[in-house]
Amino acid sequence: MARSKTVARTQKTVIEMPLTTKVATGTPYQLDPTQVERAAKALVSHMKKHVEEKDEKAAVKNLADDEDEAEDSDQPIFLSVSTKKHVSDSNRLKPTKIPLPHAIIPNDVRVCIFTKDPQRAYKDLVASDAFPATLREKVVRVLGVEKLKKRYKSFEQKRALLAEFDVFMVDDRVIKIVAEFLGKTFYQSKAKRPVPIRLTAGAYVDKTAKKDNKVSQNVVGTPQGVAKEIETALNSTYLSMSASANTSIRVGTLAMTAQQLTENTSAVVAAIIPKHIAQGWRNVRSLHLKGPATKALPIWLAEELWTDDAQVLDQPYKNKHLVEGKTTERKRKWEEWEEEMLDDEELAAKIAQQEVKKAKKEKNSEKKSISREKRKALKDAALSGVQTPLIAG
């Protein structure tokens, strides 16, 4: 109860200012950084307070405390986007990489990369002197498709692979093959879904050959080009627009400051709304910040619930294409066809049953219905029978 009161007070503090900001020129809507920072500060404060209360309730401390604290500080913070209309364009539903000003992936991650065969070429690329040493420490494993299929056939082996590494990346040329093989073990959740990268980055590719699908499948990028791809992937968040009116995208962690969360949120909003939401800001209903198990704090709300003023009608809606009596006509034809299939005795029994139902219905109707004159007469008779006044003077 105390926690819900805290959240309620937090929400009340956050929504003191108007959440819809319009400008005179340019886009009719914009995000207010002050409101975002206020919501981020309140959300982080609430989540940290909940973590402290959880630690106080733990009576016995064990050796896993440090690990638990690290997990608490890595709790994700999401931006929730609600639209007025469903996002139905299939081109907008592809996962998109969005660079962030402040990385949400920690530095001490263990990275596994799924590559096109032969894997030796990419292992040598990572091991070369031209590849950054700091990045080489993070790339722990390079697995080709053939070896992946041989070593990780069973469900248990795939689960063990999933638990062994923090981040998975995949060569964009074999992403479909890898996704089909790994299945729901990796793709049921978005937490460790393999991130597509270009392992041909830095290599020269003839554009005409690329259009004709004649690009050599064994093209290997340069150490500098591939390293830049991996660094960009580690410093980005990934958007998978669902075919609905709601979607969430990770914009930070609990360890970040309110200012860092504000900058990340602004960068994500600037990338999503113009490119991935049809009609842009006009189709956005609300933007919220939330944690994994917290209420959503509003940072932007639309004034109207429609995308076009033509959708607002002055009179009740009338469907011109609605044909009155169509259902009744269909039912009548169906009953006629049924009667044709019956013999004389069955038809007579059905007609008699219908007559009984009709008579019973009329009788009940007579009992229920009383005319206005009769009702007035009954009321006057009841009042005249009362000898004493109903209300004492």
- 293-298 mean pLDDT: 87
Q: Which amino acid is at 347?
A: L
Count of helices and strands (H, E) across the chain:
15, 10
Length of the chain measured in residues: 393
pLDDT digits (tens, 9 = 90+) for 104-154: 888 888 999 999 988 899 999 999 989 998 898 999 999 999 999 999 989
DSSP labels, 227-287: HHHHHHHHTEEEE---SSSEEEEEEEETTS-HHHHHHHHHHHHHHHHHHHSTTGGGGEEEE
Closest to 80 measured CA to CA, from 288, 254, 257 = 288
- 227-234 mean pLDDT: 90
CATH superfamily of 106-234: Ribosomal protein L1/L10, domain II (3.40.50.790)
For the chain, give every residue range classified as CATH 3.30.190.20. 1-55+73-94+247-309
At residue 50, the pLDDT reads 83
Asked if residue 388 has pLDDT above 90, the reply is no
At residue 303, the pLDDT reads 78
Q: Which of 55-64, 201-210, 248-257, 281-290 has the lowest mean pLDDT?
A: 55-64
* Higher-confidence position of 179 and 317: 179
- 4-18 mean pLDDT: 48
* E strand spans, the chain: 76-83, 96-99, 111-115, 139-144, 167-171, 195-197, 236-239, 246-253, 284-290, 297-301
CATH-assigned architecture of domain 1-55+73-94+247-309: 2-Layer Sandwich (3.30)
* Higher-confidence position of 293 and 163: 163
Q: Which of 219-233, 267-281, 349-363, 372-386 has the lowest mean pLDDT?
A: 372-386
pLDDT digits (tens, 9 = 90+) for 194-216: 888 888 887 766 555 555 554 45
At residue 152, the pLDDT reads 92
Asked if residue 297 has pLDDT above 60, the reply is yes
Mean pLDDT, the chain, integer: 77
At residue 215, the pLDDT reads 47
- 227-255 mean pLDDT: 86
Asked if residue 386 has pLDDT above 80, the reply is no
At residue 15, the pLDDT reads 45
Asked if residue 189 has pLDDT above 90, the reply is no
At residue 243, the pLDDT reads 74
Question: What pTM does this model have?
Answer: 0.63
**pLDDT confidence of 359, banded at 50, 70, 90?**
confident
For the chain, give every residue range classified as CATH 3.40.50.790. 106-234
Are 284 and 275 in contact by the 8 Å Cβ rule? The answer is no
Asked if residue 25 has pLDDT above 60, the reply is no
Asked if residue 333 has pLDDT above 70, the reply is yes
**pLDDT confidence of 368, banded at 50, 70, 90?**
low
Instruction: State the Cα–Cα distance between residues 284 and 298, nearest whole angstrom.
Output: 13
Which one-letter DSSP state was computed for residue 30?
B
At residue 321, the pLDDT reads 55
At residue 64, the pLDDT reads 47
Asked if residue 393 has pLDDT above 70, the reply is no
